Amino acid sequence: RIQDQYQILEILGQGTFGIVEKAMNKKTNQLVAIKTLKSTSKTFRGISEVGLREISMLKSLDHENIIKLIQVFHQDAKLSMVIELCETNLFRYLHSKQIKEEESKSITVQILKAMDHCHDRRIIHRDLSIGNILLTDKRTKVKVGDFGLSRSFNQVNNKMTQEIVTIYYRAPEIIMKQQQYDEKVDTWSIGCIWAEMLLKKPLFEGQGEVDQLAKIYQIMGQGEYHLDISGQSGTTSISCVGEGSFKTLMGQYLSAQGVKLMGKMLELDPDKR
């Protein structure tokens, strides 16, 4: 039983998914994080599908910039994952100091390395945000966490679900409900995370999907756009004008080379991203 092996020290966070607690291994004194998932309607033999997916993905991944799964417990109809403990996440870190270009590049490169490892194994994360980028080793080392919404893209023609990724980090092809997309959606999210590190706020801060898409095209686009978003209640058509303000905005924080690289990560066309 989990309580026989670990002593709970404090609550690190809780939300709709469940609870994360700091704990200590009673035998080794190793400090860990324990993530206990709430029961949901989506279960397999009584176990959370999100939890099963995260466990499966973490077991198949082994990279210095991806959170390590140490142990799994299933008791009292709850699924708990023992994972390595990190000091903080990127959201809290960027609001505690001003991150400059070099540090933002170091963090971004580490996220890219983690995703390269995933993509080589045909895994898309699909839920990258500043909240699930964890930091350790005096906040210099990145650990990507929260693989509960990740999935394999082995079958190219598989229809993918759209209700993933916090809206500020969601690629335009997902917002427009394209049923097939690939690992480029992670690249988009990383570009958004990089920009937010420097701006201290999301680059595209829309209120809902329509506004989010309009803001993306206003900042990244040039000229007039007529876009369709398919939904359960039909198709919503929007028109917007691209102001091309991205280079001017990010040029205040990045070198020309940095702006160019970020711009490539935020290409509207995933085939060019």
Q: Which residues of 54-78 are buried (b: 16+ CB within 10 A; e: fewer)?
A: bbebbeebebebbbebbebbeeeeb
- How far apart CA 227 and CA 62 sit, in angstroms, is 40
Please classify residue 43 by burial: count the beta carbons closer than 10 Å to its beta carbon, then call 0-12 exposed, 13-18 middle and 19+ buried.
Answer: middle
Helical H runs in 128-245? 172-175, 184-199, 209-220
Tokens of 222: 């040039």
Q: Of 117, 273, 254, 271, which Cα lies nearest the Cα of 187?
A: 273
End-to-end CA distance of the chain: 47
Say if residue 35 carries a ligand binding annotation. Answer: yes
| Annotated catalytic residue, options 76, 127, 137, 228 | 127
Query: Which of helix, strand or coil describes residue 136?
Result: strand
127 is catalytic: yes
Binding-site members for ATP are 35
**Active-site annotation, residues:** 127
